[in-house]
Amino acid sequence: MNFVSRFVVGSHLAVEPGDLDADGTVRREAIERWVHEQCEAYVARCTTLQRDGASLRTRITAFPDTPVTGSPARVIASAGATELLPAAVVVAVRMRFAGGHDDQVVNLRCELTLQGPDGSEEPLGPDVRDELIALEHAATFTN
């Protein structure tokens, strides 16, 4: 049985030569950059997370142990919220690498927090929860 996951945001990206090491393994820095881009795209769709004077902090909490090898040429990256904590949104990011020797899928988790002008984490309330639910129900990007 196959399941299709839907995500709120997604991108088709080219893997550039600088994203690979000499052996054709995707550099960790490239994966981190794509994670941050997907999280920023998610927040751009969630207006309740866009607060005056607050800045977004993205922290990757689950990174794959297995490197992505085989000189992939492209990656499909997507993101969607999976959990709401009192001061963080947990986001799942999926990357599907293709065009190399092997197609590989990488699943990551990160936490998004809002920091106020004084550096403290801002609490997230029911308004954020309601918007996250609406965004996830309307998700159409498959990966």
109-143 pLDDT, tens digit per residue, is 999 999 988 989 999 999 999 999 999 999 988 88
User: Residue 20 sits in a domain of what CATH number?
Assistant: 3.10.129.10
Rounded to whole angstroms, how far apart are CA atoms 16 and 46? Answer: 30
Give the range of the structural domain holding residue 18, as residue numbers without chain letter: 10-142
Produce one character per residue of 78-98: b if its CB has 16 or more CB atoms within 10 Å, e if not.
bbbbeebeeebbebbbbbbbe
Within-domain flag for 4: no
Q: Tell me if 89 sits within 8 A of 125, measured CB to CB.
A: no
For residue 49, tell me if it sits in a domain.
yes
Report if residue 32 sits inside a domain.
Answer: yes
Structural domains of the chain, count: 1
Specify if 85 maps to a domain. Answer: yes
Tell me: the pLDDT tens digits for 30-85? 999 999 999 999 999 999 998 888 898 999 999 888 899 999 999 999 999 999 99
**Which amino acid does the sequence have at 68?**
V
Domain membership flag for residue 1: no
